[in-house]
Structure 1
Amino acid sequence: MQLTMIFEGSKPASAHTLPGQIRPFTTNEVPVLAQLYFDSYPQGTVEDVAEAEADISAALRGDYGTFLPQANLVYVVDGQILGCVMTVDSPPWDDVSDLFFIIDVFVHTKVRGTGVGRALMQAALSNLPEHRPVGLRVESDNEPAYALYRSLGFKEVTADK
């Protein structure tokens, strides 16, 4: 079951201490992001890398809301992208249409649990204006992600927000 979570607090400072760099991603990195997306999610989330690439391209086109370059970030170490956060404004889903919305966070399996997801989330949140809440959805059985979002100040909301 998917849970909707909302962040309405003060945006955290983006001050990661990881060895890599966090920066906006570019359109020419979509194929690399698609492979990471495919590899990062449980089997069956997307059928193949082509479907992952189509999904990321749809986000860039604005199919999921207005693409926000400053909050669509990658974590890079030695030229390798190891994590990504994707954020939009005004997504098309009625229950969250008035929010900034984190549509995806995915991290390479070899760096999970090392703070990459937290650093990406903090950087994305710090790059958004404070006057509007930020939403996201998480699978209820994804305990590590749920715990991360709670620790960052996201709160679970009921269906009517």
Structure 2
Amino acid sequence: MPSDLMTLSLTRRTTTPANIDAVELRGIQTSDRDALATAYLAAYPPGVAATSLNDARQEMDDTFTGEFGALRHDLTRVATFEDRPVGAILVVGKSIWDPQLHGPFIIDLFVHPDVRGMGVGRALLDDAVHACARAEDATLSLRVGEGTSPAALALYTRAGFQQR
């Protein structure tokens, strides 16, 4: 059975972040909590990531307080559409689940269904990869699981992530 761990080598990688006119990428703010919780809950099949809006809010609170690792604010981005947060890539400095990994780890990448197909996920991922390369990180890793859509898996594969 293949591992659910995927890693992207950033050695000698040159990147150009994607640009989508209608979507702005910016740093995350604690005031984004409720809008991100709504997008997070909507992004996954029922019961996969959170079972309720309160659960999704708790996931965002846990992310902000470092329950999943310390956020790398230089890599974590929020996507806004019409001034509303519609998705995010949440990146920590090191996986708390994989002590053998050295380097940044994507704890989540999600996009509200209202803006799927616009390239928001790709723009978020490209921005994080570009920032990792600029920071001279050697790798960027993530895990795929039950809530990972075929489109997300294809996005990671196209970006060069490989199963370990």
TM-score, with structure 2 as normaliser: 0.87
- Of stretches 108-117 and 140-149 in structure 1, the one that deviates more from structure 2 is 140-149
Is 2:51 the counterpart of 1:47? yes
Which shows bigger deviation, 74-83 or 24-33? 74-83
Within a 5 Å distance, the mapping from 1:106-117 to structure 2 comes to 106-117=110-121
Using the TM superposition, name which of 135-144 and 42-51 deviates more: 135-144
After superposition, give the CA deviation of every residue in 1:76-119 in whole Å (9 maximum; x if it has no partner): 12211122110001121135542210011111112212211000
- 1:145-156 mapped onto 2 (5 Å cutoff): 145-156=152-163
Residue 17 of structure 2 corresponds to which residue in structure 1? 14
The equivalent of 2:92 in structure 1 is 88
Alignment equivalent of 1:31, drawn from 34, 41, 57: 34
In structure 1, what residue type is equivalent to 2:113?
Answer: T
> Does structure 2 retain, via aligned residues, the 8 Å contact 1:11–1:125?
no
**Quick check: 1:2–1:139 contact (8 Å CA) kept in 2?**
no
- Percent identity of equivalent pairs: 29
Using the size of structure 1 for normalisation, the TM-score is 0.88
Question: 1:68 touches 1:89 (CA, 8 Å); kept in 2?
Answer: yes
Match of 1:124 in 2: 128
- Count of residue pairs the alignment pairs up: 157
Q: Aligned Cα RMSD in Å?
A: 1.9
- d(CA) in 2 for partners of 1:19 and 1:49? 27
Q: Gaps (5+ residues) in structure 1?
A: none
* Higher mean displacement: 25-34 or 56-65: 56-65
The alignment partner of 1:7 has SS state of strand
Provide Cα deviations, 1:3-26, integer angstroms capped at 9, x if missing partner.
Answer: 110011325222413322110120
Are residues 130 and 66 of structure 1, via their aligned partners in 2, closer, same or farther at CA, if it must alter by over 3 Å? same
- In structure 2, the partner of 1:69 is 73
Deviations 1:52-96 (A, max 9, x none): 111121121111111111211111122111221100011211355
Indicate the larger mover: 131-140 or 147-156: 131-140
Higher strand share: 1
> Which residue is 2:4 aligned to?
3
